[in-house]
Amino acid sequence: MAFIVRIDAPKNSKKGTHGWQVRAGGKRGYHSKLFSDTQYGSKGKALVAAEQYLEEYLKAHPELADTTGPPFRFDDSDEVQANNKSGVNGVHKTYTYHGWDKKKEHKAWYWAASCPIGPQGQRNRWTRRFYIDTHGDEEAKRLAVEFRQMWEEAVKEGEAALKEFFDREHYDRIVDM
């Protein structure tokens, strides 16, 4: 598995870390290299350098270039990942703090469905939140599970269905406001 991710994080300095990170790995190891915006002169130039590096790296390690596998298990078994606490892969319960809560005193709990954006799970994950204060615990979890299942069905149908799913869900999110 190999891909490029964006890093925009403050790290023990005033400027922080900003760049593109190439991540590649398999069963026997993991390789990572950062392409800093500062080092390459801009965000775009750093991305081009990261893409060129990844292309060369995959030529040298062709076993990592195979991304034909699905982004989740397609079998109908009830097996979930070992660290899963919700009983459904891609669904989890967590909390955040609202922007107005500067002292971080009021947790806003929610159930979330996480979905990789690319057809093979590459790049970032898109997360849809269902707040417990709004829906109640059981209903929020049900909505998250339903959303994840709709995403899995779109993946099974192909890239066009996946694009349509994300387009529709983004529109629905704007309309719901």
Per-residue pLDDT of the chain (177 residues; tens, 9 = 90+): 457 878 877 666 666 788 888 877 765 567 888 999 989 999 889 989 988 998 888 888 777 666 555 555 544 455 666 667 788 888 889 888 887 878 888 888 999 988 765 444 444 456 788 999 999 999 999 999 998 888 888 878 877 887 788 777 765 554 443
Residues 37 and 22: beta-carbon distance below 8 Å: no
Tokens for 46? Answer: 């750093």
Distances (CA, A) of 74 to 43, 77, 114, 153, 155: 37, 9, 16, 10, 10
Phi-psi region of 23 (alpha: psi -120 to 50; beta: other; left: phi over 0): beta
pTM of the model: 0.53
Tokens for 15? Answer: 């400027």
Per-residue model confidence (pLDDT) at position 168: 79
Per-residue model confidence (pLDDT) at position 170: 65
